[in-house]
Structure 1
């Protein structure tokens, strides 16, 4: 099976040695995204809910660039938080975007994320 990198201007890009996403057959692996505005390259500051929204927008953009519908194609998400005290607020913003059939998920607290971001997510999507 071959793999294909996914590239889009609708999600943040950088010079680090990884793809925004990689499609392997009908499965898409989306790299980790923080709350960075793809147009400006700047981190979204403010409430954790706003940061969560931007992260989900970034992940969904990669899914769409691979031919998917966005968040509806997600089957697994990992959420990284720098402070588990943000868990309930992130959960509310996250849940509002997924509705009644959310993907499988893991949420962990980490000591630090790039820049000053408080939340990052990576994902697996099924595009079949």
Structure 2
């Protein structure tokens, strides 16, 4: 199987030894995306909705750099440091994903890189 990395300056650079995403034969696998502003390299103080918008904008930029779009997402995983944010994140999520919605998992975690409140990864058809 051939693996091709994806990189775009419209999303935050990797903060470790990983690619923003990997393209395989027919699928794109993104790394976890946190609400880092690609222009500044930091997570700005914001409410969970603003953080969710930043995450989905970053994810969208990576997916588009791979030549596809969020409508082709088949699986999304959300990581939240506070499950009380679940409904507020859902209100943003539906602005980026439309029916038929991708399969999805939401997981509460103790902490995320750079103290982010949300991280998202996706598998997207090419």
**Fold-level match, TM-score > 0.5?**
yes
Note if contact 1:28-1:124 (Cα within 8 Å) is conserved in structure 2.
yes
State the match for 1:98 in structure 2: 97
CA drift of 1:42 comes to: 1.2
After the TM superposition, which segments of 4 or more aligned residues of structure 1 sit over 6 Å from their partners? none
State the match for 1:81 in structure 2: 80
- CA RMSD, Structure 1 to Structure 2 (Å): 1.1
State the match for 2:17 in structure 1: 17
- Alignment gaps of 5+ in structure 1: none
- Please, what TM-score do these two structures have when normalized by structure 1? 0.93
Structure 2 counterparts to residues 1-128 of structure 1, below 5 A: 1-68=1-68, 70-127=69-126
- Alignment gaps of 5+ in structure 2: none
Equivalent pairs counted in the alignment come to 126
Provide the rounded CA distance (Å) in 2 between the counterparts of 1:122 and 1:8.
16
Note if contact 2:19-2:31 (Cα within 8 Å) is conserved in structure 1.
yes
Note if contact 1:44-1:50 (Cα within 8 Å) is conserved in structure 2.
no
Provide the rounded CA distance (Å) in 2 between the counterparts of 1:119 and 1:95.
16
Provide the rounded CA distance (Å) in 1 between the counterparts of 2:109 and 2:4.
30
- Please, what TM-score do these two structures have when normalized by structure 2? 0.95
